[in-house]
Amino acid sequence: MQIYRKVLVLFLLSAAAVSASGCSISESKETQSTDTELADTQNQEEPANMILLNNILYYDTQRTVSVFPGYTDGTIQSVTAANTTPVNNGEANFDCQGKSYSFLADGAIGLITDETARICELFLADDTVEFQGVYKKKKELSKDTLKWLNFYYTLSESDRNALSMIPSEFAGQISGTSAATKETSTSGASYLESLTQEELDTTEALAQHYFTEEVISFEGVDQIYPADSSDPQYHNSGIEEDYSPGNIIIYRVLTNLDRRDGNPFRYISIARKSKSDDWKIINSGF
């Protein structure tokens, strides 16, 4: 009987120890899981500078771009509390009220931080990426390219400049004269620099008139901006390619009709044979 009692006691003590140990392990895993989830939540809630324009949120990339002097689309009208999401168009969640901005591409804006040098902070919509001055929608890129871009922008500026790789989706579109990021040491766009501000104003007015008065079904213009020199439309054989810088400009345009129907920006090409001729619309489409 005494032997049985001793065995029973040892069994109970062993079971208690295992139970306590299992509980400790379980609690440890649960704590670790909670900590991980908390860290993930904190990362997701990491405050970001945002701007709301035309019902689209643009996020600060912490990178800068250069834009053509004198070209702006508006100013930030109001500022909401930090760490909150802007809800009114023309509103930001950081101190930038009154600063000017420019639409750089569909899904990209530049907030002007240096009026003299025309240096802008780059903001991108959640569905847009930028690589050396070329803007694309994420849906246009492979998962591997998106992963590579995420890796690319974790590198220092010197490390990025040391890389020679160009993703296939961007091949042939990177130009030394395109409006690219400051880090890539490229500067303005030659097609833009070849025109005066008066010529830009004249051609933009012509584009606005076309989508508002000539073809009223477009219901006017929601957004418009000059295309980069790297835009392949400039090399469209038999049409745009026949015109040299200074005698052609291409605008990317989002009409009110296209915005409502969910269509992308379309282009309109305006050119002249020489500086003594009038500007004319020579092409338009997607």
Whether residue 204 sits in one domain with residue 174: no
Q: How high is the mean pLDDT of the chain?
A: 78
Q: Rounded mean pLDDT of 265-283? A: 92
**Cα–Cα distance for residue pair 34/21, rounded to 1 Å:** 20
pTM over 0.85: no
Instruction: Name the maximum alpha-carbon separation found in the chain.
Output: 119
Whether residue 166 sits in one domain with residue 118: yes
Whether residue 174 sits in one domain with residue 72: yes
Residue 39 has pLDDT above 80, yes or no: no
Whether residue 96 sits in one domain with residue 36: no
Considering only CA atoms, which of 199, 179, 176 is closest in space to residue 188? 179
Residue 125 has pLDDT above 60, yes or no: yes
| Per-residue model confidence as pLDDT tens digits over 61-112 | 999 887 655 567 889 999 999 889 999 999 999 999 999 998 888 999 999 8
What local confidence, expressed as pLDDT, does residue 182 receive? 39
Whether residue 99 sits in one domain with residue 158: yes
DSSP string, 15-37: HHHHHHHHHHHHHHHHHHHHHHH
Res. 212 pLDDT band, cuts 50 70 90:
very high
User: Which residue type, as a one-letter code, is found at position 33?
Assistant: S
**Cα–Cα distance for residue pair 62/43, rounded to 1 Å:** 17
Whether residue 159 sits in one domain with residue 37: no
Domain that includes residue 219, residue range: 193-285
**Position 143 in a domain:** yes
When mean pLDDT is compared across 34-38, 74-78, 240-244, the lowest value belongs to: 34-38
What local confidence, expressed as pLDDT, does residue 231 receive? 82
Whether residue 57 sits in one domain with residue 13: no
| Per-residue model confidence as pLDDT tens digits over 136-173 | 999 988 888 898 898 888 887 777 777 767 888 887 77
Whether residue 160 sits in one domain with residue 226: no
What local confidence, expressed as pLDDT, does residue 96 receive? 92
- Say how many C-beta atoms besides its own lie within 10 A of residue 62's C-beta: 10
What local confidence, expressed as pLDDT, does residue 71 receive? 67
What local confidence, expressed as pLDDT, does residue 18 receive? 41
Q: Rounded mean pLDDT of 186-199? A: 73
The domain boundary, picked from 156, 180, 204, lies at: 180
**Position 185 in a domain:** no
Whether residue 116 sits in one domain with residue 38: no
Whether residue 58 sits in one domain with residue 175: yes
Residue 10 has pLDDT above 70, yes or no: no
**Position 125 in a domain:** yes
What local confidence, expressed as pLDDT, does residue 13 receive? 46
Counted domains in the chain: 3
Residue ranges of E strands in 190-256: 221-226, 248-255
Q: Rounded mean pLDDT of 23-42? A: 41
**Position 186 in a domain:** no
Residue 204 has pLDDT above 80, yes or no: yes
